[in-house]
Amino acid sequence: MMEIPFSIVYLVYVWCIVALMTRGKKRLTGEAIPIAHQVWLSFLVLAIGDLGHVGARVYSFSAGGLQNHPVLLGIGGLAEELAITALFMFWAEVWRLRFGHPRNAMYWVLMIAGFIHFATMISPQNQWTSASPPYDWVLYRNIPWIVQGFGVGFLMIKDGRTKKDAVATRLGMYISLSQLIYRHMHFTPLS
């Protein structure tokens, strides 16, 4: 099973990025500090969420299979969704800071989508610890997540192109591409 070694390497890699960013933040000055802090926070919550979700999958595969650990996988999936929602909220702040925007309507749409996603995740109808969570609730809770992902990606691309900021444009493209690649995950349970 290739998923286990891949997942372990991935988790080590993400945590190394967080560690390198932690060290690198000390060298920053001026306007770069608040932006770098938001990027660091986004990677930190990604690492924590992936540790929950990917770590739960690694453990479950190693301890008899996914089918034997629905509670652990459900809690790991919840951790991942919380983390990705927070990640997009941090990236909305990165967009705002990088391009000097006020907290405008688009910013608040992304933030409100995040809070709606948090609220839908709390609902017991999600049945996080079930081997087969209800499909309708998987759909409901992931709509705000999709809005956040494509919204952040779009804003980074739009403003990156306008300001000829190749880094922001590429980041926006990567965010949007990840949404397209993982679109099936938005409509299926994470276990």
Say if CB 75 and CB 62 are below 8 A apart.
no
CB-based contacts of 55, cutoff 8 Å, min separation 6? 7, 11, 76
Say if CB 177 and CB 128 are below 8 A apart.
no
What is the model's pLDDT at position 191?
A: 47
Cα→Cα distances 34→113, 127, 185, Å: 23, 38, 31
DSSP 179: H
DSSP 29: -
Q: How confident is the model over 41-81, as pLDDT tens digits?
A: 999 999 999 999 999 999 999 998 888 999 999 999 899 99
In percent, how much of the chain has pLDDT > 70? 95
Give the DSSP per-residue string, 85-144: HHHHHHHHHHHHHHHT--S-HHHHHHHHHHHHHHHHHHSGGG-TTSSS--HHHHHHHHHH
Q: How confident is the model over 131-178, as pLDDT tens digits?
A: 888 888 888 888 999 999 999 999 999 999 999 999 999 999 999 998
What is the model's pLDDT at position 189?
A: 52
Pick the more confident residue, 111 or 138: 111
Q: Interior CA angle at 85 toward 167 and 15, to 5°? A: 65
Q: How many CB atoms lie within 10 A of CB 21?
A: 17
What is the model's pLDDT at position 186?
A: 55
Closest CA to 151 of 100, 112, 185: 112
Length of the chain: 191
